[in-house]
Chains A and B, each alone.
Chain A
Amino acid sequence: MHALQDLIFVSLTVVCFVALLGFVRALVRI
């Protein structure tokens, strides 16, 4: 159970930071 939750929260962290990198790219176009 905890292994699945670990996967979820590690993935969530990675997704957050990848989205933030995308945000940087989006800001360039403003």
Chain B
Amino acid sequence: MWLPWIEFAVVLLVMALLVIPMGQWLARCFTSEHHTWLERWTYGALGVNPQERMTWQRYGSSLLLSNAMMMLLGYLVLRLQGGLPLNPLDIAAQSPDLAFNTAASFITNTNWQAYAGESSLSNATQMAAITFLMFAGATTGVAAAAGFVRGLARSSSQDLGNYWVDYVRVLWRVLLPLSLVVALFYVWQGIPQTLQADTVVSTLEGSRQQLMVGPVASLESIKHLGTNGGGFFSMNAAHPFENPTPLTNVVHILSMLLIPSALTYAFGAMLLRRRQGWVLFGACLVMFVGFLSLVFVAEQRGSDLLARAGADQQWSPLQSGGNMEGKELRFGIADTALFVTTTTAATTGSVNAMHDSLTPLGSITPLAQMMLNSVFGGDGVGLINLIQYAILTVFLAGMMIGRTPEFLGKKIEVREIKLVMLSVLAHPAIMLGFTALAVLWPDTAASLNNRGPHGFSEILYAYASATANNGSAFAGLNANTPFFNTTIGLAMIAGRFLTLLPLLAVAGSLAAKATVPAGPGTFPTATPLFMGLLVFVVLVVGGLTFLPALALGPVIEHLQMLLGQLYA
């Protein structure tokens, strides 16, 4: 029974060992003065001046405009699919509302899918719309983190760097080479990489079966490295072509955590405050282990209702035991729990099990991590969200001791706190606002598989996933309707940018301030005490905001389940 815990410890140790080299790589990418010939050529092709120094407004506007253009391009490809090459199965274009949802989903790094990839996208679209936008969304997030951290590092300056330089460098120096290496590893492990659309095989029973294939390995690599999550197949990483071996499962997990965890080190390296970076890493790790323990214990304990139905939930060397509904036998409870925790911590959205089938207590882990949105978080934005909470923590600590709060040698004043609170409040306002609208919408009941609190959880999960730019689906909700496609699309756009832009403004505001030396009244932020306070603030703010919604969903469902009440 100790084996799963040993596996968790080994995976997290490998992640921690990768933090330093990856963090150094990222920091070098963000701070290098040298432009390679490929980068210079790209600046020329884009018509941008790499020497331009950008204020946060210019940086944020460039980010918005580039994302708008790429989203429209993605929409166009999805709508013109029927007339594009590499579509031998003549798959029709997505409907306009679904194409809007899909384009918004992939440019915002959400990768929510209201469609089944293998039956509604051609190989051309999988590459030109889906994989393209996966690179675009992830690169945008990491570039935003580069500008944000640079703002914190600067003093008496208006300059966050150059968005285009950050974008092009992250793409050429980090994501493309890493994706290529990981894709080749996946091909070695048996993940298909072909332009062929399908293949026909003879089954063991002697019948013929059509298997869908395509450029899966190249999509899988950026899907996890970019904390994207959208699957080539509707079964996502539970499909044997997306996740064929235990090794691919572990590499998926490590790939998801690689950049978000390493960014904490890059942050420390860029600010010459490495201990501060480790404090942020430690805070994420503590929360990660807590949520992993919750889902693992809940799933391993299973349910009395399953026992009454005759299921053997006892762990043995030959079986996982516990609640195996909706899980792959080959992954069992441990690898599923680790995947569930990772995919919602890093806001990836890739799944190797059906989250709808988690026990009510187990389902709190993915929901809560999407609500907090800062347990490592997505590429780039996770670090930004965590620093938002760090600023809030020094503000609260400063109020308690009656001193002006300082963070990284900068005084935190009214403007920064207003901007931070705008971002902190935008996240729940979008998520809970759209959930409330969907609950009241007359047609919603027809989209639900379950009634009662489980049905509410299905709706809450959809908007939590959209707003946190996670993309995983709880399942049980038919979201491919004009209402859900439109509102979830809007939630993804608002969730991405209404939280990111105020924090870029915070970076601009802090960049303009002079750095003050630490005095006797300065609250040290590179200590275990601050790490504990930061975790406390994240959990208390998140708890106060989201507990009522959780109480209406998984909490009440758990209590009802103890009484034998189910919601079919």
- Chain A: residues with CB nearer than 8 A to chain B? 2, 5-6, 8-10, 12-14, 16-17, 20-21, 23-25, 27-28, 30
Given the interface pairs A13-B72, A14-B68, A16-B490, the reply to whether A28 lies near B79 with Cβ below 8 Å is no
A6 touches B96 (CB 8 A): yes
Choose one: B60, B79, B100, B415; the contact of A12 (CB below 8 Å).
Answer: B100
B75 touches A17 (CB 8 A): no
Given the interface pairs A13-B68, A17-B67, the reply to whether A24 lies near B79 with Cβ below 8 Å is no
Which B402-441 residues have a C-beta within 8 angstroms of A? 415, 418-419, 422
Which secondary structure dominates chain B's binding surface? helix
B99 touches A17 (CB 8 A): no
Chain B 19-62 near chain A by CB (<8 Å), digits 1 or 0: 00000000000000000000000000000000000000100110
> A27 vs B426: C-alpha distance in the bound complex, in angstroms?
14
Inside 8 A of A23's CB, which chain B residues have their CB?
Answer: 497-498, 501
Q: Is B493 among interface residues, defined by CB-CB distance under 8 A?
A: yes
Range for the number of chain B residues in contact with chain A? 20 to 34
Given the interface pairs A17-B67, A24-B64, the reply to whether A9 lies near B75 with Cβ below 8 Å is yes
> A20 vs B492: C-alpha distance in the bound complex, in angstroms?
13
> A2 vs B65: C-alpha distance in the bound complex, in angstroms?
26
Q: Is B97 among interface residues, defined by CB-CB distance under 8 A?
A: yes
Choose one: B60, B97, B501, B502; the contact of A9 (CB below 8 Å).
Answer: B97
Q: Is B71 among interface residues, defined by CB-CB distance under 8 A?
A: yes
Chain B 70-85 near chain A by CB (<8 Å), digits 1 or 0: 0110010001000000
A24 touches B57 (CB 8 A): yes
B497 touches A20 (CB 8 A): yes
CB distance from A3 to the nearest CB of B (A): 9
Interface contacts beyond A9-B75, A21-B65, A24-B64: sample of 18 additional A-B pairs, CB < 8 Å, sorted by A: A2-B95, A5-B95, A9-B96, A9-B97, A10-B75, A13-B68, A13-B72, A16-B490, A17-B67, A20-B64, A20-B497, A20-B501, A21-B64, A24-B57, A25-B57, A27-B505, A30-B418, A30-B422
Inside 8 A of A8's CB, which chain B residues have their CB?
Answer: 96
